[in-house]
């Protein structure tokens, strides 16, 4: 039986929801076999929270899936290390550090946190501060072409000059004036029109600055993503991602700047994640209603958390609940057990006719898994099929014993593919664990000893061995044909 997948065929059916068209579209990159993707990264002035984590995890799955589909993926994700506001200035005083130190601290934390969740590094993580020259050049083009103008406190982009303004978010320039949010009327900037946005801001006292033809200052927030994405990916590229809050104004303004400057279509597919909610409402820094990722990992375990973040489709709001993580941990446990038992099966010479049925089932579910991901990255459904496979392996082993090695070999191929896409780097780190020969010998010895104690009816001593093994992260289970064991790194610790 052949488990290999016709990648070309699967790839043809990959569809994603494009915010630009507000519709699900078949994915077809600009250049055949190559995908260029830019994901909006973090403003590194604080630790990342579980909302950021969801977003980056989803894009991690996207990138891994694209690679699985055979695409050569070039992924760029920026680091915004320029953001300065009064809150930050206050923080500098509180933490008694310089702006540079603050940025360094949280940039380091950002990479640690990403890695802890098994998120792969992008090909390039450009820093905004190192691309000020590119931003200045882009602003000069916009001035030359008449899309931008110089005011007293900076350079602004004139949104009324750009015909398609609002095509991503659906916001009409006039609506910005009529907006009843109460924020726009309090406009304190020296610009021609309320909807116009800053390309360059002249520095006020105490603020960090860079030199420019328009005076000492810093770039506006949006220009960095235009400058850096076009530098590394070209004037037109395939995918641009972000959280839903980026749609307006950030991405809308990026489109305006970039397309005004180049005259070309900036991005083909815009993908956005919905927010993580806490108690039914959006997390908010100002009200301290948020959960930092590193705290959540410490409490729930990275693997459980990662699966939980993927358990709701990315275009649906995720209301963060502990109970959901508990459910996710059960799926992680089953998968871990299934993977490790299958790995052990590889080394056993066992014949079992029913195993062929098991393999057929796994192949069918693996195809379902791919269909689910093809359907706008439906991780909810994909995880369900992954769990079906875990259960089928466990059930098989519990009633039939280990899987014949030639069958196990094929099943492992499927488990590896699924595991790497869903769990990322955590798959090898926490799930597909293979003990050293010595360690294995030790465990097997303990199990044998326990067995003898059990035969003699010395259950107390036998249970003590089980308890000790469990403390080492070894789970053992007595099945009909004997005792199986596996390494469990992702226990859900509860208070």
Length of the chain: 495
The binding track of 454-483 with respect to RNA, each residue x by CB under 7 A or -, is x----x--xx--x--------xxxxxx---
When the beta carbons of 318 and 426 are compared against RNA, the nearer one is: 318
Strand partners of residue 24: 17
Number of residues this chain uses to bind RNA (CB under 7 A): 85
Provide the pairing of β-strand 197-202 with 482-487.
Answer: unpaired
Q: What are the residues whose beta carbons fall under 8 Å from the beta carbon of 285, sequence distance 6 or more?
A: 46
Number of other CB atoms surrounding residue 145 within 10 Å = 12
Judged by beta carbon, residue 216 or residue 464, the one nearer RNA is 464
Count of CB atoms situated within 10 Å of the CB of 170: 12
Beta-carbon count within 10 A of 204 CB: 10
Please tell me whether residue 96 binds RNA under the rule CB under 7 A.
Answer: no
Residue 114 lies near RNA (rule: CB under 7 A):
no
Provide CB contacts within 8 A for 22, sequence distance 6+: none
Choice from 247, 291, 433, 443 touching RNA (CB under 7 A): 247
Residue numbers 260-279 binding RNA by CB under 7 A? 273, 275-277
Task: Single out the residue of 26, 144, 285, 448 in contact with RNA (rule: CB under 7 A).
Answer: 285
Indicate whether 488 belongs to the interface with RNA (CB under 7 A): no
d(CA 158, CA 168): 17
Binding to RNA, residues 179-208 (CB under 7 A): 179-181, 183-184, 194-197
User: Measuring CA to CA, how many Å separate 415 from each of 311, 313, 432?
Assistant: 18, 21, 9
Select the residue interacting with RNA from 38, 162, 221, 402 (CB under 7 A).
221
Binding positions for RNA, 30-59, rule CB under 7 A = 40-43, 49, 51-52, 54-55
> Which 146-185 positions form the footprint of RNA (CB under 7 A)?
169-171, 175-176, 179-181, 183-184
* Of residues 68 and 197, the one with the C-beta less far from RNA: 197
Contact residue for RNA among 133, 356, 395, 468 (CB under 7 A)? 395
- Closest among 172, 220, 168, 206 to 21, alpha carbons compared: 168
Q: How far is the CB of 489 from RNA (least distance, A)?
A: 16
Residue 244 binds RNA (CB under 7 A) = yes
Helix (H) or strand (E) holding 38: strand 34-39
State the minimum distance, in angstroms, from the CB of residue 332 to RNA.
Answer: 11
Question: Any contact of residue 255 with RNA (CB under 7 A)?
Answer: no
Burial of residue 441 (CB within 10 Å: 0-12, 13-18, 19+) is exposed
Interface pick for RNA out of 140, 327, 371, 416 (rule CB under 7 A): 327
Q: Is residue 293 within the footprint of RNA (CB under 7 A)?
A: no
Beta strand pairing call for 281-282 and 318-320: unpaired
**Closer to RNA by Cβ: residue 9 or 455:** 455
For RNA, the closer CB: 195 or 424: 195
Distance separating alpha carbons of residues 4 and 9, to the nearest angstrom: 12
């Amino acid at each position: 039986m052949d488990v290999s997948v016709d990648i070309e065929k699967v790839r043809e059916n990959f569809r994603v929801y494009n915010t630009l068209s507000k519709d699900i579209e078949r994915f077809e990159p600009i250049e055949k076999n190559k995908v260029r993707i830019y994901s909006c990264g973090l403003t590194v002035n604080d630790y990342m929270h579980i909302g950021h984590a969801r977003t980056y995890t989803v894009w991690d799955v996207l990138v891994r899936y694209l690679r699985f589909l055979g695409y050569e993926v070039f992924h760029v994700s920026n680091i915004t290390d320029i953001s300065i506001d009064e809150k930050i200035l206050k923080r500098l005083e509180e933490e008694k550090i310089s702006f540079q130190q603050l940025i360094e601290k949280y940039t380091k934390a950002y990479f640690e946190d990403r890695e802890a969740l098994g998120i792969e590094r992008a090909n390039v993580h450009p820093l905004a501060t190192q691309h000020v020259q590119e931003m200045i050049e882009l602003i000069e083009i916009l001035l030359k072409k008449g899309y931008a103008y110089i005011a007293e406190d900076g350079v602004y982009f004139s949104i009324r000059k750009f015909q398609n303004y609002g095509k991503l978010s659906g916001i009409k320039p006039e609506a910005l004036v009529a907006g009843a949010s109460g924020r726009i009327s309090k406009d304190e900037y020296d610009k021609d029109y309320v909807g116009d946005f800053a390309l360059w801001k002249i520095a006020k006292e105490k603020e960090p600055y860079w030199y420019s033809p328009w005076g000492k200052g810093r770039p506006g927030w949006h220009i960095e993503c235009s400058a850096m994405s076009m530098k590394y990916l070209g004037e037109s590229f395939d995918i641009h991602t972000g959280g839903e809050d980026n749609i307006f104004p950030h991405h809308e303004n990026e489109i305006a700047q970039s397309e005004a400057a180049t005259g070309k279509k900036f991005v083909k597919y815009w993908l956005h994640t919905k927010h993580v909610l806490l108690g039914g409402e959006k997390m908010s820094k100002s009200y301290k209603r948020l959960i930092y990722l590193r705290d959540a990992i410490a409490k729930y375990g990275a693997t459980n958390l990662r699966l939980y973040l993927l358990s709701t489709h990315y275009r649906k709001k995720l209301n963060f609940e502990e109970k959901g993580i508990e459910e996710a941990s059960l799926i992680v446990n089953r998968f871990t057990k299934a993977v490790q038992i299958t790995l052990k099966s590889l080394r056993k010479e066992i014949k079992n006719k029913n195993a062929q049925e098991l393999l057929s089932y796994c192949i069918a579910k693996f195809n379902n898994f791919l269909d689910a991901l093809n359907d706008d990255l439906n991780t909810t459904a994909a995880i369900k099929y992954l769990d079906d496979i875990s259960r089928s392996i466990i059930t098989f082993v519990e009633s039939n014993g280990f899987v014949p090695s030639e069958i196990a070999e094929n099943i492992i191929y499927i488990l590896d593919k699924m595991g790497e896409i869903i769990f990322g780097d955590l798959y090898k780190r926490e799930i597909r664990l293979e003990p050293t020969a010595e360690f294995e010998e030790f465990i097997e010895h303990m199990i044998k000893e326990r067995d003898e104690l059990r035969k003699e009816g010395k259950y107390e001593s036998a249970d003590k061995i089980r308890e000790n093994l469990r403390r080492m992260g070894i789970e053992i289970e007595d099945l009909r044909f004997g005792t199986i064991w596996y390494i469990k790194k992702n226990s859900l610790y509860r208070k």
